[in-house]
A and B are shown apart, each in its own frame.
Chain A
């Protein structure tokens, strides 16, 4: 596991995402209400680019006709077969017991700390004045 600088914090505003390539794998980095999450860009069902799908809410109905829109804007819906995954945990809503999308640890680090290392800046130049999104791969 190494830490990789993938974006400035300002690059991924709340509700936004950035798809990065770290050590040969595509990873979607999401900002959900200020908290950053990272998910592999590959659906465990048939391999589609999962992180390019729509960000949706989780809709629940304890009984038919009674709807609850829970967890607004926290699920990613695969652009192929509409399988939905929790962006924070990678858990599948379709098959929660069996299938999971790989997640990665993300942190926000000040440029000052990054300048000291031992981080790998992928393609993002680091300056001490800014904060950065760091993914562990």
Chain B
């Protein structure tokens, strides 16, 4: 065993996680040609001869390369038969689904470039292709994995068509929307898309990161990945503020918003500030009829990874208590370098009822699984 001088850390094997629902699993392609069977000849030739035009420089790599090989992959998740982590269903089963008896895994494909494509028609074609690819490569052979509908937020017509096309298909659990769009998500230009998600029974999932072309912070480009990683929280805060202040959540009462990988300890303090201003600035946003904290508690869900590790582990319980244990869902982020192991992620013992909700029941209810 390991020697832990202050905290018991991981010498506390728990069972509460078994049969959990993983709200963040990343599938990868072996080669970009994996998408070709799902593209028309027109877009297949475009992909092969022209390729993606994302809203950032350095199109072939991250703006902030990471120290783990594969640009931020878990070191032991490389398949022996080649290809990147997340591309081999056998290894996903071995290291995640079977190891922990995972009930369901929600796929978050950060591939294909649809979200940030400047050529929005190509982006729309890639979104459809990635959706078909998720089914063919992962969800059909492994029904525990649930796909997320990819759309191009800047091409409303195709986004609406794709949401409607996948509605009612039990392989799709939610719609992925980039948390860093060209404009804050509450702006009118995105309203029809959000309404279509709600009308078709899809929660929207906002996975941290992405490349909007804007700096990741509110005040310019950082120097290090170490800075960039936490600065993405600002984009999460922006979308919470925007959806609340624009009155979107009263206009679309069925909209359910899942913030993935953005942390959550910041959510209470943000709500406190919003509540404080709401009392004073009501005249500017008369559409905001309820306290922001009330709207947030009703419409937002958060996933756990990368788990907050407060110096006093028991502080975690107070934070979850504020957010509501019925709004927190466990996620691993497999196969990324900063993924969490369900046995050891929480550095504090969760009350049994909370563990049941966080590891399973919240996701089961939200995504109507089983």
Contacts and interface: CB of A to CB of B under 8 A. Distances in A.
Contacts of A47: 10, 341, 343-344
A44 B10 contact: yes
Contacts of A42: 2
Interface of chain A: mostly helix, strand, loop or mixed: loop
B10 A46 contact: yes
B356 interface: no
Given A45-B10, A46-B10, A47-B10, A80 B4 contact: no
A97 B74 contact: no
B3 A98 contact: no
Interface string A48-70: 11001110000000000000000
A23 interface: no
A110 B97 CA distance: 46
Interface stretch (B40-48, B189-197, B332-340): B332-340
Contact of A45 (B5, B9, B76): B9
B340 A46 contact: yes
Contacts of B7: 98
Interface in B1-25: 1-7, 9-10
B146 to A, nearest CB: 25
A68 B7 CA distance: 31
Nearest to A79: B75
Interface residues of B, number: 22
A35 interface: no
B76 A52 contact: yes
A82 B337 contact: yes
Contacts of A79: 68, 74-76
A80 B337 contact: yes
A80 B75 contact: yes
Nearest to A49: B76
A101 B2 contact: yes
A101 B5 CA distance: 11
A26 to B, nearest CB: 12
B45 to A, nearest CB: 40
A116 interface: no
A44 B9 CA distance: 7
Given A40-B2, A81-B338, A99-B9, A46 B76 contact: no
Given A46-B340, A82-B337, A97 B75 contact: no
Interface in A92-124: 97-102
Contact of A102 (B3, B340, B344): B3
Nearest to B7: A98
Interface in B40-95: 67-68, 74-76
B345 interface: yes
Contact of B344 (A46, A52, A82, A97): A46
A61 to B, nearest CB: 13
Contacts of B4: 44, 98-100
Given A80-B75, A101-B2, 15 more contacts: A44-B2, A44-B9, A45-B9, A45-B344, A46-B344, A46-B345, A47-B344, A48-B76, A48-B341, A81-B337, A90-B3, A98-B6, A99-B4, A99-B5, A100-B2
19 contacts: A42-B2, A45-B9, A45-B10, A45-B344, A46-B340, A46-B341, A46-B343, A54-B75, A79-B74, A79-B75, A80-B337, A80-B338, A80-B341, A81-B337, A82-B68, A98-B4, A98-B5, A99-B4, A102-B2
Q: Which 9 A-B pairs have the closest CB atoms?
A: A79-B75, A44-B2, A98-B6, A46-B341, A46-B344, A100-B3, A79-B76, A102-B2, A47-B10
Interface of A: 40, 42, 44-49, 52-54, 78-82, 90, 97-102
